[in-house]
Amino acid sequence: MTAAAKPEPTRRDFLYIATGAAATAGAVFAAWPFIDQMNPSSAVLAMASIEADLSAIQPGQQVIFKWRGHPLFVRRRTPKEIAEARAVQVSDLPDPLARNANLSDSAPATDAGRTIKPEWLVLVGVCTHLGCTPTVSTPGSPQGSFGGWLCHCHGSEYDTAGRIRKGPAPQNLAVPPYAFTGPTKIKVG
Ligand code: FES
């Protein structure tokens, strides 16, 4: 095979950051040496938090952090992705609830109900069917029909607000408790 036959390298929009976000949980464990770290109490889990710097994430790109043992998706949405999410009627959604830990349990799954700042979508990256990690959709590698994520395990498709649109998953991807601590910094948990 000649070099000319090789495809152009493409920018991967799917990055994984396993470490780098200092977990407050570490300090918690140090303060409570008798806690079984393999089975931390709910109080410890409740305090576990990370701070994430989003400044390197480009529009259309997703970075995955790790939070409480789960992937945490942070996607910097493009204006087109935001517009697509906002054009959807809540009445057309399989799950009409926001599933946003920062809002009440009954908050509707409007796009505004899924974000704090429209550009940034922060989600627990766990499919609500049986817990697989969905794959992000990018212009060069579309996943599913709704521009968000596809869970390859059983075909659940999520839109650009992380809402379930098709397949067996019963709920929207969860929005964790988080807050902005700077223009491009968040604290999760
Ligand atoms: S675990 Fe995602 S579709 Fe089944």
CA angle (21, 24, 28) in 5-degree steps: 150
Report the range of poorest mean pLDDT among 14-28, 58-72, 139-153, 175-189: 14-28
How would you classify the pairing of strands 135-136 and 120-124? Answer: unpaired
Whose Cα sits closest to atom 1 in ligand 1?
A: 130
Position in ligand 1 atom list of the atom nearest CA 168: 3
Cβ atoms of 49 and 25 within 8 Å: the answer is yes
Give residue 139's pLDDT band: very low, low, confident or very high (50, 70, 90). confident
Q: Which domains does the chain have, with CATH numbers?
A: 12-21+51-188 (2.102.10.10)
| pTM for this model (two decimals) | 0.79
- How many angstroms separate the alpha carbon of residue 15 from the centre of ligand 1? 21
Mean local confidence (pLDDT), 153-161: 98
Statement: residue 28 has pLDDT above 80: no
How would you classify the pairing of strands 70-76 and 120-124? Answer: antiparallel
Statement: residue 40 has pLDDT above 90: no
- How many angstroms separate the alpha carbon of residue 6 from the centre of ligand 1? 34
Statement: residue 5 has pLDDT above 90: no
Question: Active-site residues: which are they?
Answer: 154
AA identity, residue 2: T
Dihedral of CA 16/18/22/26: which sign? positive
> 129 CB under 6 A from ligand 1?
yes
Statement: residue 107 has pLDDT above 60: yes
- For residue 3, what pLDDT is reported? 38
Mean local confidence (pLDDT), 51-79: 96
Mean local confidence (pLDDT), 56-82: 96
Position in ligand 1 atom list of the atom nearest CA 132: 1
**Residue 22 neighbours by CB distance under 10 Å:** 11
Mean pLDDT of the chain: 83
Give residue 41's pLDDT band: very low, low, confident or very high (50, 70, 90). low
Q: Nearest to residue 67, comparing CAs of 128, 37, 24?
A: 24
- For residue 32, what pLDDT is reported? 33
Give residue 42's pLDDT band: very low, low, confident or very high (50, 70, 90). low
What is the strand order of the sheet 14-16 is part of?
Answer: 14-16, 62-67, 70-76, 120-124
Mean local confidence (pLDDT), 136-145: 93
> 153 CB under 6 A from ligand 1?
yes
AA identity, residue 121: L
- For residue 17, what pLDDT is reported? 46
Statement: residue 160 has pLDDT above 70: yes
